Structure 1
Amino acid sequence: MASSLLEKQASVEDVLREVSRLKSVVTEAVEEGVQTAVKALKQGRSAAEDVIYDARHTVKQKPLQAVGVVFAAGVLAGAIIGWLSTRRS
């Protein structure tokens, strides 16, 4: 009976050690995932800022072309919306 009790106690200690190890592994994985997500967000923000800067620079350098592009996009969007609204009726 004493050896059975010792075996159960050893098993409980083994389980607790394994749970502690798994907790460490999961914690490290979550921290690594958070770091990767933060890095991706910073890169995305930097890329978006670059695109905005380039767009502003282009509009300042070629204002008439920028107005023409916006006008064409508006006409195209209006045509698509009009076409879709007549199809549903």
Structure 2
Amino acid sequence: MSTGLLEKQASVEDVLREVSRLKSVVTEAVEDGVQSAVKALKQGRSAAEDAIYDARHTVKQKPLQSIGVVFAAGVLAGSLLGWLSTRRS
């Protein structure tokens, strides 16, 4: 009977060891995911700041062309919204 008890005890220790190992693997995976997300956010923020800087620079260098582009985009957006609203009616 003591042999069965020792086998069960060894089995429980094996399970606890495996659970501990799995916990470590999951913890590392979560930490890696968080680090990747933070890195992606920083890169996205940097790209957005670069785009804003470029847009400001272009507006300062070519103000009339910038006004024309914004006007054309407004006309296009207005036309699209008008077309969509008449299709639903």
- TM-score when normalising by structure 2: 0.96
Shift of 1:81: 1.0
Gaps of 5+ in 2: none
1-side partners of 2:87 and 2:21: how far apart? Answer: 62
Give the structure 2 partner of residue 39 of structure 1: 39
Shift of 1:37: 0.9
Give the structure 2 partner of residue 18 of structure 1: 18
- TM-score when normalising by structure 1: 0.96
TM-align CA RMSD:
0.7
Identity of aligned residues (%): 88
Shift of 1:30: 0.7
Q: Does 1:56 align with 2:56?
A: yes
Give the structure 2 partner of residue 80 of structure 1: 80
2-side partners of 1:74 and 1:3: how far apart? Answer: 83
Give the structure 1 partner of residue 30 of structure 2: 30
**Superposition misfits of 4+ residues, deviation over 6 angstroms:** none
